[in-house]
Structure 1
Amino acid sequence: MAKVVAVVSGGMDSATLLYHILDEGHEAWAISVDYGQRHVKELDFARQLCEGVGVPHQVADLSAINPLFGNNSLSGREMEVPEGHYAEESMKQTVVPNRNMILLSVAIAWAASNKCQAVAYGAHSGDHAIYPDCRPEFADAMDNAARLCDWNPIELWRPFVHMDKGEIAKRGFDLGVPFEKTWTCYKGLELHCGKCGACVERKEAFSAQGLPDPTRYDG
């Protein structure tokens, strides 16, 4: 059994990741990051998920660095969140520069300070085309860095990196993940918009596996 810090955003992938780690018999700690994202309400969902399984949860407030991320539709407010499928070029407007390296660096620091053996995050194959910091090559490089950044080597786990969103949804369903208590939509309104790339992918994930979708969509 290992002591593992899981990066938990409050979405489907990280919720399944958390349940997966516990199912494997590991001791899980969870960290979420406030980087000034438009959909900051996801952090409330992360907290509820962690409370539901009795996992310690920390929120790292990095909102002060928000201006460094430039003009994108997730950390900024001037650009509208694009609607459509992730395959569309417009989805690149949702890229927050170097986000995963920043999130993982904070998680690795917390893991090192508590003598944890690993940090885990839920990057998957469907993210590769749009988000360069979800590629296996990036994860491999971060794994190497994590093993060298402290006298206590830390591994970077990414169990879903070769899975698609549907496969993750199936794994979560089998584990009993309460998907109705997760948040995906980039717009961060009262309900999931049903139209942004994240919502479209969420719908497709449940549909592809023939699973019931408990999400309330506005459209």
Structure 2
Amino acid sequence: MKKLVVIYSGGMDSFTALNKAVKEGFDVYALSFDYGQKHNKELIYASDVCSDLGIPHKILDIKSISTLFTSSSLVSDDIKVPDGHYEADNMKSTVVPNRNMILISLAIAYAVDIEAEGVWYGAHSGDHMIYPDCRPEFVKVMDQASKVANFEPIYVHAPYLETDKIGILKDGISMGLDYSQTWTCYKGLEKSCGTCGSCVERLEAFEKNKTQDPIKYF
């Protein structure tokens, strides 16, 4: 079996990608990050899923880098996580500068160490407008850089890069996945808020797929 590192946040997209990799026969190693995000509750979900699947799982504590991201509402205590759809201008505050480049770089290093052949992460087409590090151009360049950054050529791949959240959920439903095992809300409260950009997009995906979201909302 070919080894693969999957960057696994505990959210819908990476949950689907993780299961896709397992079903495609990869020897999966999950890697999660605690970078000081308000919604670090997602890491509990990630840990539980990996335990259920019997997948090796590391949670890397890099909270100290949150001091560099004072402009992001996902980590700053001084900025409220905005409500609304991702198309709204106020959603730009949810950008964590250079986050994916940082996380992918660490995942590549892990892949080299365990002699894996690649790194997967859950970027999708719905992210492209607001998050530059989810665009096809970024994935292509990271893949190229990764293949020359070490003696071992590690590829970088986003399996849902050309698919939106609706399509991701559709694929997950076809795999029989249980989305009660995921955490999406950016606010990290006891229940999902249902109003932040991440929740709105999730609820829209379930509506478009004509199925009920199994998690609880306020």
Tell me the TM-score range normalised by the shorter chain: over 0.9
SS in 1 for 2:160: coil
Matches within 5 A, 1:140-179: 140-179=140-179
SS in 2 for 1:37: coil
Which residue number in structure 2 is paired with residue 38 of structure 1? 38
Deviation at 1:174, TM superposition (A): 1.4
Which residue number in structure 1 is paired with residue 190 of structure 2? 190
Which residue number in structure 2 is paired with residue 96 of structure 1? 96
Deviation at 1:52, TM superposition (A): 1.4
Which residue number in structure 1 is paired with residue 211 of structure 2? 211
- Matched to 2:2, the amino acid is A
Which residue number in structure 2 is paired with residue 122 of structure 1? 122
**Residue 206 of structure 1 contacts residue 213 of structure 1 at CA under 8 Å; is this kept in 2?**
yes
Deviation at 1:155, TM superposition (A): 0.6
Which residue number in structure 1 is paired with residue 109 of structure 2? 109
Deviation at 1:69, TM superposition (A): 1.2
In the alignment, structure 1 segments of 5+ residues that lack a partner are none
**Residue 74 of structure 1 contacts residue 186 of structure 1 at CA under 8 Å; is this kept in 2?**
yes
- Matched to 1:77, the amino acid is D
Deviation at 1:212, TM superposition (A): 2.2
**Residue 47 of structure 1 contacts residue 57 of structure 1 at CA under 8 Å; is this kept in 2?**
yes
Deviation at 1:70, TM superposition (A): 2.1
Out of 89-98 and 170-179, give the one that drifted further: 170-179
- Matched to 1:119, the amino acid is V
Q: Name the TM-score, length of structure 1 as normaliser.
A: 0.98
**Residue 2 of structure 1 contacts residue 118 of structure 1 at CA under 8 Å; is this kept in 2?**
no
For 1:176 and 1:43, the matched residues in 2 are separated by 22
**Residue 35 of structure 1 contacts residue 66 of structure 1 at CA under 8 Å; is this kept in 2?**
yes
Q: Name the TM-score, length of structure 2 as normaliser.
A: 0.98
Deviation at 1:215, TM superposition (A): 1.6
Matched pairs, number: 218
Deviation track 1:64-99 (CA, whole Å, cap 9, x = no partner) reads 111011221101111000000001001001000000
**Residue 125 of structure 1 contacts residue 164 of structure 1 at CA under 8 Å; is this kept in 2?**
yes
Deviation at 1:211, TM superposition (A): 2.1
- Runs of 4+ more than 4 Å apart: none
Which residue number in structure 1 is paired with residue 9 of structure 2? 9
Deviation at 1:2, TM superposition (A): 2.1
